[in-house]
Amino acid sequence: MLKPGIITALGAMSGTSLDGVDAAVIRTDGEVIDGFGPSRYRPYSDAERVVLKAALGRWPGEDLGAALDVVQRAHEEALGGLDAEIVGFHGQTLAHEPGGRGTHQLGDGAALAAALGKPVVWDFRSSDVRLGGQGAPLAPFYHFACAKWIGARAPVGFLNLGGVGNLTWVDPSKPGPEAEGALLAFDTGPANAPLNDLMQERRGLSCDKDGALAREGAVAEGALELFLDEGYFLKIPPKSLDRNDFSVMLDLVRELDDADAAATMCAMAASAVMRGMEHCPAPPQALYVTGGGRHNPVMMRMLSVSLDCPVAPVEEVGLDGDMLEAQAFAYLAVRVARGLPTSAPGTTGVRALVGGGEISRPEA
C-alpha cells in the first residue's frame, strides 16, 4: 500500500525505435508533478537489437525466450540502483492490433519486481483494449500534468516523435485529465521507425544522426502524395498504429538514392503530423516535441514551416524530451496503485474511463 501524498516513482520506456531503455524518477501523487529525479539510458547493443527486431509482430505463446531475456536484462540494468517506492514497467511492444488480436508488450513484471525488490506496475494497455479502446497512446494523462506544471493557460500540444508519432492536445483549463474535453490524443503516423529501418538497410546505421543524410536530399513529391493517400489519415481519432503498419514507406522510396529517401521519409512524418493537427478541437498555442525526432533538424524544420503554431522541443519549457515517456509510466504507476484512471474516451477511444495495469510485489 502506498503512503498518501507525494511519493517517488520510477518509470521505464523501451519504444518501437528499438534504441534502448529510458529510466526516470519523478515525484508525484498521481495527479500533479512535484519534481523530477535522476534518469538513465541503457542502449540496446546491435546484437540485442537484432533479437528484438526478429520478435516484432509476434504474440504470446510463440517462442520469445531470447527477446524476453534481452528485455528483462536491459530493464534490470536500467532501473537497478535508482531509488523509488514504485516502478512503472511498460515492456517492449512487439505487436499492436486493437480490434483484432489485442496488444502485446513483452516483459515479466513479477520477475522484475523480484529482481528490484520494489512493487512493479505493468501490462498497462490490455484492459483498455479489452474495453474497446486502442490501448494507445497512454502518455496523454501525464501530458496534462506537464501542461499544468509548465503553467499553460491555453491549449497546447505535445508531439512524441518516436518510432511512431503521437499527438496529445491538452486543454489545461479543465480540472483534470479525465474531464470531458481535457484531452484528445492519437497516433499521427510513422516517425523514426521506418527512417531507422532505411538507415540500417542501406547504411548499416541505427539512425540518420542529426538529419545529416536527409539534409543532403530532396523530397520526392510523388512518393509523398502516395503516402498521404493512405486511408489512415482520413480516420477520425482516437486511433493508433503498430510499428510496421506503414512498411509501405520503404517501398515508396525504394528507387530513390539514400539522401532523397531520407528527406522524403522526414517529409512523410511531418506531413502526417500536419494532417493530424487538423483534428484538434482548437489551434494549440504551441506544439512541444519530445522523442528522438526532435534531434532531427530536417524533420523539425519541416514541422515549423507547415504548422501555424510555434514548434519547439520540450526542453524550451523545462521538460526532458528524452525521458518524458519514462516519466509518464512512473506517473501512471502511481495512478494505477491509487485506483485512478489512466485512459479516457478522448485518448484511446475506450468506452469509459479505465485504469490499466497489473501490480506485482516482490514478496508475491
How high is the pLDDT of residue 1? 66
Q: Measured between alpha carbons, how far is 243 from 22 in angstroms, rounded to an integer?
A: 19
The reported pLDDT for the residue numbered 244 is 74
- Per-residue pLDDT tens for 229-287? 999 999 999 899 877 788 788 899 999 999 999 999 999 999 999 999 999 999 999 99
C-alpha distances (whole Å) from 221 to each of 77, 92, 124, 209 are 44, 34, 39, 23
Kindly provide the b/e burial profile for residues 119-158, where b requires at least 16 CB atoms within 10 angstroms of the residue's own CB: bbbbbbbbbbbebebbbbbbbbbbbbbbbbbbebeebbbb
pLDDT in tens, 9-54: 999 999 878 889 999 999 999 999 999 999 999 999 999 999 999 9
The contacts of residue 38 (CB under 8 Å, 6+ apart) are: 24, 25, 82
Strand partners, 190: 164
Question: Residue 198: phi, psi to the nearest 5?
Answer: -60, -45
Compute the distance between CA of residue 146 and CA of residue 307 in angstroms, rounded to an integer. Answer: 22
Where does CATH 3.30.420.40 sit in the chain? 7-136+322-360, 151-317
Instruction: Tell me the CATH architecture of domain 7-136+322-360.
Output: 2-Layer Sandwich (3.30)
Q: What is the pLDDT of residue 2?
A: 84
Instruction: Output the CA torsion sign for 283, 15, 292, 197.
Output: negative
* 57-to-16, 53, 60, 138, 326 alpha-carbon distances in Å: 11, 9, 10, 20, 23
Give the residue-averaged pLDDT of 72-94: 97
| 17 and 165 Cβ atoms separated by less than 8 Å | no
Hey, which residues does 102 pair with through a beta bridge? 97
Q: Is the pLDDT of residue 80 over 80?
A: yes
pLDDT at residue 151, as a whole number? 98
Q: State the cell numbers at 332.
A: 501512471
Q: What span, in angstroms and rounded, lies between the C-alpha atoms of 178 and 166?
A: 19
User: pLDDT tens digits for 102-126?
Assistant: 999 999 999 999 999 999 999 999 9
Q: Which residue's C-alpha cell is 506517473? A: 331
pLDDT at 163: 86
Share of the chain above pLDDT 90, in %: 90
Backbone dihedral region for residue 127 (phi beyond 0: left; psi -120 to 50: alpha; all else: beta): alpha
Question: b/e per residue, 70-104, with b = 16+ CB within 10 A?
Answer: bbbebbeebbeebebebbbbbbbbbbbbbeeebbb
Closest CA to 23 of 328, 278, 353: 328
Domain with residues 151-317, CATH architecture: 2-Layer Sandwich (3.30)
C-alpha cell at 131: 474495453
Q: Cα(197)–Cα(247) distance, rounded to whole angstroms? A: 10
The model's confidence at residue 79, banded by pLDDT at 50, 70 and 90, is very high
3-class SS of residue 47: helix
List all residues 6 or more positions away from 161 whose beta carbon is below 8 Å from its beta carbon.
191, 192, 269, 289, 290, 291, 292, 293, 294, 296, 299
What pLDDT shows up at residue 364? 53
Sorting pLDDT into bands at 50, 70 and 90, what band is 100?
confident
Query: Mind listing the pLDDT tens digit for each residue in 146-198?
Result: 999 999 999 999 999 988 999 999 999 999 999 999 999 999 999 998 999 99
So what's the pLDDT on residue 322? 93
- Assigned C-alpha cell, 358: 497489473
Q: Give pLDDT, residue 127.
A: 94
User: Amino acid identity, residue 173?
Assistant: S
Instruction: Please give the average per-residue pLDDT across 321-345, as a whole number.
Output: 97
Q: Is the pLDDT of residue 67 over 70?
A: yes
